[in-house]
Homo-oligomer: A and B are copies of this chain.
Amino acid sequence: MYEYDMDFELVFHPEGEDSVTVRARRGESVLDVAKRVGVPIDAPCSGNGTCGKCKVRVVAGQAGAEGHTHISPEELREGYRLACATVVSGDLTVVVPEAALAYRNRIRVGDMKGLIEGAAFQSFRAAIPDRASECTLASLPVQLKEPDLHDARADAERLRRGAADALGCKEEEVSIDPSALRKLPRLLRESAFSVSCLLRRRDGESRILDVSARPEFPLGLAVDIGTTTVSALLADLSTGEPIAFGSAGNGQIRYGADVINRLIESAKPGGLERLRTAVTAECVAPLARRLCERVDRDADSVCRIAVAGNTTMAHLLLGVYGNHLRMEPYVPAFFGVTGLSGFDLDIGVHPGGDAFLAPAVGSYVGGDITAGVFASGIHRREDISLFVDLGTNGEIVLGNREFLVACACSAGPAFEGGEISCGMRATDGAIEACAIDESTGAPRLSVIGTTGQKPAGLCGSGLIDAVGELFRCGIIDARGKFLGEGERIARDEWGMGRYILCRASEAANGLEISLNEADIDNFIRAKGSVYSAIRTLLGTMEMGEGDIDGVYVAGGIGSAIDIEHTIMTGMLPNIPRTKYHYIGNTSLLGAYGMLISESARESVSRIADGMTYLELSSCPGYMDEFIAACFLPHTDGSLFQ
């Protein structure tokens, strides 16, 4: 008995960071210990041993070599193990390689190409009616009389009087937020009692949210909280202009790649708080800080926030228990919340700033979709559109100005690089497009990044291309199995075939980039779930593919999506290519609309109120559609001729 109660010492050496020494109990997996103490080891499959991403190297102590999938015999000899399959039975020292830390705070602050500069964005902005007229936030310079023994009014009363005089209102109608008050005494004396106030005017009252030495434009932050990736956009609220854009991996990824595993983790003791801080303190807060640094401002001067995310992400962001989302009858704690402030989000922005959350319509059709539909504009069109958001989950909306019906399909994380052996997000090093020479079988790759960037992995759009090309060239069959041999084709010791997209010597991190039959199988299930959802949705409305006037494809799949390949693989309907529009991260665009416009917020609310949510699992026929769609391109080949 004694031995079973004993604790061992476990030392983690995350590459490039300080090591962490903790106590571990016999029988715990190294991954469980890491989750418990906050060492961010990537584990999209939540520790089922299926994804191979939690590969660590044991440098001291005993670790058995059994049951470690995804690890070559040579790697096994070098001490590589899956953290999820390594059970603690003594002291251990474990190196966590950079690759296994992949999703930690990797903030990418970039230009706004694709997102902001496109014609689609301009027309989106033009469609927001009051983007310049919503002047509830304004900057007001005030010159105050310096105090003396005959005029010893307090700083706050002095400022309120000065602001009231400048506004032509009563002093009682002006109030000061405590966070502005905290800055006031020193600021007044450093600036000879000449300051600029950031005012929020509402219901005849003016609240001084912030004070500064020089006039500063009010900052707003739009955030898309994706299951895999968090994106944010900083805007100047005086004009509505976006000024900085960035993204980061969602820190929750180490608790599972999909929302179900996150919800399960959140129901464990302390789990909700771990998941909340993994996205707030570890992800959105540093991202906001970095964006503000670009314009030399502090994150706490962000005085309005708009957030869109799926229903699970919204729950975890606010620290609200959402485990009922995954259990019949699939009831979330909330669809929408009003009256939120920066304080409630706990992301380092102004605690008194207004915060808006895009409302959900169902457990699996969240604020990312209501905001996304708003950004797509399909709710304003007379003709029938299909909105397809391909993120970690796939959501599909069919409709026009008269009706909107939505459903969610469990596409899995393949389109964001999850559960794909060499998958990655659409960031630097990702293969975003790929063509295969039919005669030689050799690939031609297009890689995200500056010229000369070596490939590091495969993102969603690259995956679609690769599978499409392998199928087109006859290298794989309709079930995704490799048909023959070739220079680029290899098989592992268990006989599973793979296609080598990039040899180890040419890859960014010296590891071969390939696509194996398990990856292709994951892709086929993902694309099958999308296509069958579209078919079911059309069927419910007694429509066919021919009734669709436009398809709007959104999501983090990468802007280089090749529509031909999506149709070739049987993922999207075989309709004229000109009807297809790739419109990027509509969740972020919609949040941005909500940030700069009151009428946009009202539109998103109306979209949520008017949208019908279709639960696919309760649709008769959906399962048959799905099974039929799990071929390349489809069991019914006539659909793709």
Contacts and interface: CB of A to CB of B under 8 A. Distances in A.
**Most chain B beta-carbon contacts within 10 A, residue among A203, A338, A363:** A338
A523 B301 CA distance: 50
A331 B147 contact: yes
Contacts of A147: 329, 331
A372 to B, nearest CB: 19
A295 interface: no
A333 B152 CA distance: 11
Given A147-B329, A329-B148, A329-B149, A156 B337 contact: yes
A246 interface: no
A186 interface: yes
Interface in A161-191: 175-178, 181-182, 184-186, 189
A207 B328 contact: no
A333 B181 contact: yes
A320 B362 contact: no
A297 to B, nearest CB: 21
A119 interface: no
B153 A331 contact: yes
A615 B149 contact: yes
A563 B151 CA distance: 38
Contacts of A175: 337-339
Interface residues on A, range: 35 or more
Contact of A185 (B148, B178, B324, B615): B324
A328 B618 contact: no
A178 B340 contact: yes
A541 interface: no
B152 A320 contact: no
A202 to B, nearest CB: 11
A152 B331 contact: yes
Nearest to A360: B154
Given A318-B178, A337-B178, A154 B185 contact: no
A185 B320 contact: yes
A279 B338 CA distance: 33
Given A189-B324, A339-B175, A331 B154 contact: yes
Interface in A319-348: 319-324, 328-340, 343-344
A363 B149 CA distance: 12
A298 interface: no
A145 B157 CA distance: 51
Contact of A321 (B152, B182, B319): B182
Nearest to A605: B172
Interface of A: 147-149, 151-157, 175-178, 181-182, 184-186, 189, 203, 207, 318-324, 328-340, 343-344, 351, 360, 362-363, 615, 618
Please give me the 10 A-B residue pairs with the lowest Cβ-Cβ distance, nearest first.
Answer: A156-B334, A185-B333, A154-B332, A149-B329, A154-B335, A147-B331, A185-B321, A178-B344, A155-B333, A175-B339
10 contacts: A152-B615, A153-B331, A154-B332, A155-B324, A155-B334, A178-B318, A181-B320, A182-B321, A189-B324, A343-B343
Given A156-B335, A175-B337, 12 more contacts: A152-B362, A155-B324, A156-B336, A156-B337, A181-B320, A182-B318, A182-B319, A182-B321, A184-B333, A185-B321, A186-B321, A343-B343
